[in-house]
Chain A
Amino acid sequence: MLKSVHVALTLAISAGLAPFAATVAAETVNPAGEKLYKTACIACHSTGVANAPKVGNKDAWAPLIAKGMDSMMAIALKGKGAMPPRGASSADDATLKAAVEYMVYASR
């Protein structure tokens, strides 16, 4: 217990100190996707808040990627668990899709 708490705290504290994006080649298709990710989605998906699949974590994303873009977009649009509809952003569908693509790209 103690140890897992320590790990959790370390994770929480180090959150964001090493933005994964720096290590990802900037060759995403639609730059609006990366922008939305860094504005909003990053709040939960950079560290895995409330079990959000952490961007860059291949194992967490593989099953989601396997189900396909339609399935991931359904979650992005409607929300799931702690994930609010549209990630609580005011982004349009195309931008949202670009952000999902960006996260998928960075998590392969």
Chain B
Amino acid sequence: MVAPAMAKGKSAPVAEKFLSEPEIAKLKRVKVDLVAPPMVHKHEQVASGAPRIVEFRMEIEEKKMVIDDKGTTLQAMTFNGSMPGPTLVVSAGDYVELTLVNKASNAMPHNVDFHAATGALGGAKLTNVNPGEQVTLRFKADRPGTFVYHCAPEGMVPWHVVAGMSGTLMVLPRDGLKDPAGNPLRYDTVYTIGEFDLYIPKDENGKYKDYKTLSESYGDTVEVMRKLVPSHIVFNGKVGALTGEGALKAKVGETILLIHSQANRDTRPHLIGGHGDWVWETGKFANPPEKDLETWFIRGGSAGAALYTFKQPGVYAYLNHNLIEAFELGAAGHIVVEGKWNDDLMKQIKAPGPIVA
């Protein structure tokens, strides 16, 4: 009845076949509990069965968040209380069925625009919810890749996006990721990183302003936005969110997939001391990935993905390689890698010492 695309082993394209409502009603349903970034909920890398309807639920939460170690605050808007919102994973051909809840304690109307979806402004037109309301949207995830989702209420789209309302939907090919020769690529761990350009207003003394309510932050924030110069650029909601206790972890020999989303502004990820073994910088898995990248490029309004297998232990930095944006404004995190040092790949022949003639 359904989906010829479930065949294992070869890259069968998802058939351009549109199911009727009774046919869709017969599909298996699964409910997925989302987890907070940088973690990603458990999922299959190769789909084991026919397309399914995958149910998700996200609650919108407006809240004041501290975004640096100086106590600067952001009147933030979030999906599920985190920046970015949680990453949703399905396989191509699956249906995403999202229930979006706008908590009664919020002040603003919201909605959601999925870049992976087709029609109605990405779903935004069909998901407008006022505080105290919820709505359910279904769409077919028929294109594999990492895709941004974000809030987009008519008339105040950029504000809701730069205040935190974005995340990633990852649609895996049913037969998993492949290199350009068609060989399978697999990961042991997946981390999701959302990069946010923030526009915090300053007062006449040059100090960052703190606002009592979300709506009172609006007028000043828009003025800063219009200058196109972010005050902070952060990974996952805060300067240093992915350092120290929050650092990502890996082991020598382990392959990680790093998903990187930026809903508003370009960025250029780089792993110091490592590489992108296989990178889909535009994030769409039907295209062959690029190999051996030093720095890759995520267009504002997209999500990309990079695979890397660690070969050396130590503390790596993962950052936006405009180094001012990384080290001055906040767009940097750490990956702590355990394992054995490889002298063949790198060796310090002589430690630093006085200059000898």
Contacts and interface: CB of A to CB of B under 8 A. Distances in A.
B121 interface: yes
Contacts of A94: none
B45 to A, nearest CB: 37
Interface string B214-240: 111011101000000000000000000
Interface string A27-57: 0000000000011111110111110000000
Contacts of A40: 213, 215-216, 218-219
Contact of B156 (A5, A49, A87): A49
B108 A11 contact: no
Contacts of A12: 154-155, 157
A90 B157 CA distance: 23
Nearest to B225: A16
Contacts of B218: 39-40, 42-43
A98 to B, nearest CB: 15
Given A88-B213, A88-B214, A39 B219 contact: yes
A47 B216 contact: no
B107 A88 contact: yes
Contact of B155 (A5, A49, A84, A89): A49
A62 interface: no
A44 B222 CA distance: 13
B157 A89 contact: no
A82 B104 CA distance: 11
B215 A50 contact: no
B146 interface: no
Interface of A is mostly: helix
A74 interface: no
Contacts of A26: none
A50 B216 contact: no
Contact of B130 (A8, A43, A82): A82
A68 interface: no
B154 A90 contact: no
A9 to B, nearest CB: 8
B216 A82 contact: no
B212 A11 contact: no
Nearest to A81: B130
Contacts of A43: 108, 156, 159, 215, 218-219
Given A40-B219, A49-B154, A50-B154, 12 more contacts: A11-B155, A12-B154, A15-B156, A16-B222, A39-B218, A40-B216, A43-B218, A82-B108, A84-B108, A84-B215, A90-B212, A90-B213
Question: What are the nearest 8 A-B pairs in CB distance?
Answer: A88-B107, A47-B155, A49-B155, A88-B215, A84-B107, A40-B215, A43-B218, A39-B219
